[in-house]
Amino acid sequence: MTAHDIAASGAGAGSLRRSLEAASPRYGERAIRAFLVGCAAFSVLVTIGIVLSLLFGAIDFFRAVPVLDFLTGTDWAPGFEPAAFGVLPIVVGTLNIVFWALAVAVPVGLLSAIYLAEYAPARVRRVVKPMLEVLEGIPTVAIGLWGLFFLRPLAEDLFPFLAWSTPHAVGVAGVAVGLLIVPLVASVSDDAMRSVPGSLREGAYALGASKLRVSLRVVLPAAVSGVVASLVLGVSRAVGETMVVLMVAGARPQISVDPTASVQTVTGHIGTTATGDISTGTTDYYTIFAVGALLFVLTLAMNMFAIRLVRRFREVYE
C-alpha cells in the first residue's frame, strides 16, 4: 500500500466520522433527555419528601415518648387514659400476618412457578400466566370481604377444636393475605426459572436426571436470586397490606400467637387512626408518623438484607 492509498483511506475515515455527527443540534433528543432526568429527579424528591414527613412527625412524637419505651413496651393504647405507647403488640401482629401469609404463598407460589416453567404445556401457560397477572389486581377490599364472610366460617368448620371466640382471626387474615400474594410470587419466580439457560437442563437430562430432579436440583437453585426477589416482594406486600387485616384480623393490639386471636397490625393502626376523629398535634396523632417510620425502617432493612442475599447467590450466565 502506497502513501497515497493510506492518505486516501485516512481521508475516507475522516469523512465517515464527520458523517456520523449531527449536522444540527438535536433539540428533540435533548428535550427527551431532560424529561427523563426530570422524572428520575421527581421520584427521588418524592421519596425524600416521604422520609422527611415521617421524620419530622416522629421527632415530635419522641419528644413526648421515650424511644426505649416505644420500642420495648408491651402495651399499646394511645387513645386511652393513661396512654400506653409500647409498639411491640402491633409489631407482633404484623409478624403474625407475615408468617401465615408466607406459610401459604411460599409453597403454593413456588410449586405453581415450577409447574408453569417446567411442566405446563404452552397452551396451558398461555392461559394461566395472564390469569395470574390479572389476579394481582384484585381489589383488597374484595379479598377482605371474602376472608371475613367465607374463609373465617370455613376455618371454624374445618378446625372446630380451636377457640373461635371472635369474628376476627389473625390466622385467617394471614391466609387471605397469602392467597393475595400467591400470584406475585408465582409470576416473578416463573420468570426467573424460565430465564435459566436450557443448556443446564439438557446437561442434567444427559446425565440421567428426572424432570423433578432437574426442576428442584438444577433450575430452582439457578434461579434462586429471582425466587428470593419474589419472596421479598411478597413479604413487602404482606407487611404493607391494610384493608384485609383491618377487616379480617380486627383491631385489638395484643401479643399473641393464637391463630384465632384478634390482633392489630402496624398498617391497621395507621389506617384506623388516620381516618378517625383525633386532634392534630396530639401525641395520639403523632403515633401515625412514629409507626410509619418504624415500618419504613423495617422494610428498608429487609430489602437491604435481601439485596445482599441475592448478590451472594446470583448466577451469571453468558
Look at residue 54 and tell me if it is in a domain.
no
Look at residue 208 and tell me if it is in a domain.
yes
Look at residue 31 and tell me if it is in a domain.
no
Place of cell 379479598: 143
Each residue's pLDDT, cut to its tens digit, for the chain (318 residues) gives: 555 554 555 555 554 455 555 566 677 788 899 999 999 999 999 989 989 988 998 998 998 888 898 888 888 888 787 888 889 999 999 999 999 999 999 999 999 999 988 888 888 888 888 888 888 788 888 999 999 999 999 998 898 888 888 888 999 999 999 999 999 999 889 988 988 888 888 888 888 888 888 888 888 888 888 888 888 888 988 888 888 998 998 888 888 888 899 999 998 888 888 877 777 778 888 899 999 999 998 888 888 887 887 777 666 555
Q: Which residues contact 230 (CB under 8 A, 6 or more apart)?
A: 109, 113, 184, 185, 186, 187, 188, 189, 192
Look at residue 43 and tell me if it is in a domain.
no
Q: Which pLDDT score is estimated for 16? A: 47
CATH of the domain at 278: 1.10.3720.10
Q: Which pLDDT score is estimated for 24? A: 65
Look at residue 305 and tell me if it is in a domain.
yes
| Range(s) of the domain holding residue 292 | 76-313
Q: Which pLDDT score is estimated for 196? A: 86
Look at residue 71 and tell me if it is in a domain.
no
The domain tally of the chain equals 1
pTM (predicted TM-score): 0.82
Look at residue 206 and tell me if it is in a domain.
yes
Dihedral of the alpha carbons of 275, 277, 281, 283, in degrees to the nearest 10: -90
